[in-house]
């Protein structure tokens, strides 16, 4: 199998993120609709690309059953998948289009099917990405939910996921200033370091 | 000659760019006045200084006369307190302090963490005089930096400067008599080398706040006075407004309430990045978000 181009990997990662966020969406909606206290934070670690479900606080449905959130299915991927088999083992679904070998060739439309587990069984969602000049130019999805709830949540997700931000390098954008909080007070960072050292974390 | 100075004050880095012509003499006098203004503000309101006027007022109950800029500070704080039903409150100082968010950044819980008092139970502000009825730690961290940036802006304007940028740790006030917007990137909360979009400022200010900075334990610097937890559904918030003070206050408010709760009371634009990395913004935002 040919190695994937960077753009292609980006596209696949994009699909993955979209699916993971979709799962999170399901979970939060599920939790909030049941009015259970304080939804646990779904941790998303960029470096590892692993989404873990909350370990201790599984939301309990009002009818007494334990809701297994969509994210209960631990999806693992390496941030830079090297081979097709890596991708398949990630459980993300396979691509319909063979991997092109240069960035320019990567332009085009790609569709991938994401699979995730729900209380009502496995569900799928189709995501289509259009790459132009190696960047994501458009993204659309098809609702393939079977269970009525899945259908509803997929639609919620598909209606909203386009706000998902994609950072651009400072060098790509002409800016006079940047507004943010990276200039955290030095004393605070020093204190945190000190505490970590003391606690051995 | 125009002037640009970078310095550290109130725990953050300031960069002041004066785009007007300025002689060296005037420039020196100007920045001396700026530093005096910042020092006076710090000595009046800082929660990290035991001897600040606000800390003394909270230590020994009584009536204290504050400088004239306290009128604006307390008026807007009270307005925001009422609109957010007490979620934005200067009385969060007791909570922050109990959790160890103090001058020494001890960051270790050192007192029982309890919901803050109601404003009217513990203090009364009228016409420059703050009266405290009971010991209380008052914290103006949600809007104080923005308020101070505006006061520094007034110092510049009193010196006849019409074109300038004040940037204090990413909170920015920009004034110009030209039709020349200032393009300000919105820093990616997880990667300071990237931006998630930009806004174009024209005689406005922009303030930003992110929930993943200044975190300790399960907390970040914004704490809900009702639940005594830090809101996690928002990753970052930016607000564009006419003054830095109001923008700063609104940034904190948007961690607690929705924009719809605020638009009846303030004129502003916003960007909210939620915990899943999905951004939303006001329809009139003069800028762009980079989204799929």
Task: Pick B192's closest partner by Cβ from A17, A182, A185.
Answer: A182
Cβ of B208 under 8 Å from any chain A Cβ? Answer: yes
**Residues of chain B neighbouring A175 (CB-CB closer than 8 A):** 183-185, 195, 198
> B182 falls in which pLDDT band (50, 70, 90)?
very high
- Structure token digits, residue B273: 């990045």
Per-residue pLDDT tens over the stretch B123-134: 999 999 999 999
Q: Phi and psi at residue B84, in whole multiples of 5°?
A: -95, 15
Between CA B226 and CA B92 the distance in angstroms is 10
Nearest C-alpha neighbor of A127 from the set A6, A3, A20, A4? A20
CA distance B103 to chain A (A): 9
**Rounded to the nearest 10 degrees, how much is the dihedral formed by the CA atoms of B75, B77, B82, B87?**
-170
> B45 falls in which pLDDT band (50, 70, 90)?
very high
Q: Phi and psi at residue B198, in whole multiples of 5°?
A: -150, 165
Cβ of B113 under 8 Å from any chain A Cβ? Answer: no
Q: How far is CA A111 from CA A6, A77, A136, in A?
A: 17, 19, 13
Determine the residue of chain B that is closest to A162 in CA distance.
Answer: B292
Instruction: Give residue B91's pLDDT.
Output: 96
Between CA B114 and CA B227 the distance in angstroms is 10
Are B222 and B143 spatial neighbours (Cβ–Cβ below 8 Å)? no
For the whole model, what pTM was predicted?
Answer: 0.71
Mean of pLDDT values over B198-227: 86
Contact A181 B229 (CB under 8 A): no
Contact A191 B104 (CB under 8 A): yes
Between CA A159 and CA A152 the distance in angstroms is 11
Alpha carbon B292 to chain centroid distance? 31
Instruction: Give residue A135's pLDDT.
Output: 63
Mean of pLDDT values over A3-26: 42
Determine the residue of chain B that is closest to A172 in CA distance.
Answer: B194
Per-residue pLDDT tens over the stretch A131-172: 776 666 677 788 888 888 888 888 877 777 767 888 888 888
Name residues whose C-beta falls within 8 Å of residue B15's C-beta, 6 or more positions apart in sequence.
Answer: B4, B5, B6, B165, B166, B167
Between CA B238 and CA B208 the distance in angstroms is 4
Pairing of strands B204-210, B171-175: antiparallel
Task: Pick A176's closest partner by Cβ from B11, B184, B196.
Answer: B184
Nearest C-alpha neighbor of B58 from the set B69, B44, B71, B75? B44
Per-residue pLDDT tens over the stretch B230-274: 888 899 999 999 999 999 999 999 999 999 999 999 999 999 999
Contact B107 A181 (CB under 8 A): no
ipTM: 0.82
Token pair 């993300």 is at which residue?
A92
- Structure token digits, residue B39: 């020092």
- Structure token digits, residue A88: 């398949």
Pairing of strands B182-188, A177-179: parallel
Mean of pLDDT values over B195-215: 89
Token pair 């939301």 is at which residue?
A59
**Residues of chain B neighbouring A184 (CB-CB closer than 8 A):** 213-214
Nearest C-alpha neighbor of A165 from the set A51, A21, A48? A21
């Amino acid at each position: 199998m040919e190695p994937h181009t960077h753009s292609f990997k980006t596209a696949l990662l994009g699909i993955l993120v979209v699916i993971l966020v979709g799962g999170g969406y399901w979970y939060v909606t599920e939790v909030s609709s049941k009015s259970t206290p304080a939804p646990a934070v779904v941790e998303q670690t960029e470096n590892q690309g692993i989404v873990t479900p909350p370990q201790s606080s599984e939301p309990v449905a009002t009818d007494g059953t334990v809701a297994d959130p969509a994210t209960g299915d631990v999806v693992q991927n390496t941030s830079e998948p090297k081979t097709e088999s890596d991708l398949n083992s990630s459980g993300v679904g396979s691509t319909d289009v063979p991997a092109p070998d240069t960035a320019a060739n990567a332009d085009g439309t790609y569709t991938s099917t994401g699979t995730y587990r729900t209380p009502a069984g496995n569900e799928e969602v189709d995501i289509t990405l259009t790459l132009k000049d190696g960047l994501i130019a458009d993204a659309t999805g098809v609702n393939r939910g079977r269970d009525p709830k899945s259908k509803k949540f997929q639609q919620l997700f598909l209606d909203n996921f386009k706000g998902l931000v994609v950072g651009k390098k400072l060098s790509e954008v002409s800016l006079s200033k940047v507004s943010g909080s990276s200039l955290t007070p030095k004393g605070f960072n020093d204190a945190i370091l000190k505490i970590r050292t003391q606690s051995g974390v | 000659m125009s002037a640009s100075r970078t310095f550290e004050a109130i725990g953050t880095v300031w960069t002041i760019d004066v785009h007007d012509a300025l002689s060296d003499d005037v420039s020196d006098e100007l920045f001396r006045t700026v530093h005096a203004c910042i020092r006076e503000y710090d000595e009046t309101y800082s929660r990290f200084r035991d001897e600040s006027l606000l800390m003394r007022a909270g230590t020994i109950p009584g009536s204290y006369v504050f400088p004239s800029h306290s009128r604006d500070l307390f008026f807007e704080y009270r307005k925001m307190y009422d609109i957010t039903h007490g979620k934005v409150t200067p009385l969060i100082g007791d909570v922050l302090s109990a959790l160890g968010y103090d001058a020494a950044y001890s960051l270790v819980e050192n007192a029982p963490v309890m919901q803050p008092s109601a404003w009217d139970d513990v203090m009364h502000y009228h016409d420059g005089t703050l009266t405290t009825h009971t010991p209380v730690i008052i914290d103006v961290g949600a809007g104080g930096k923005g308020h101070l940036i505006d006061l520094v802006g007034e110092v510049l304007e009193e010196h006849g400067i019409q074109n300038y940028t004040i940037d204090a740790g990413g909170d920015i006030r920009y004034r110009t008599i030209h039709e020349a917007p200032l393009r300000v990137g919105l820093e990616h909360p997880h990667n300071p080398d990237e931006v998630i979009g930009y806004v174009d400022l024209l005689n406005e200010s922009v303030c930003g706040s992110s929930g993943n900075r200044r975190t300790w334990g399960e907390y970040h610097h914004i704490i809900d006075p009702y639940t005594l937890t830090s809101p996690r559904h928002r990753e970052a918030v930016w607000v564009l407004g006419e003054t830095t003070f109001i923008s700063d206050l609104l940034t904190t408010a948007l961690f607690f309430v929705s924009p719809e709760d605020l638009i009846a009371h303030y004129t502003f634009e916003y960007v909210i990045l939620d915990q899943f990395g999905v951004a939303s913004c006001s329809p009139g935002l003069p800028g762009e978000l980079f989204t799929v």
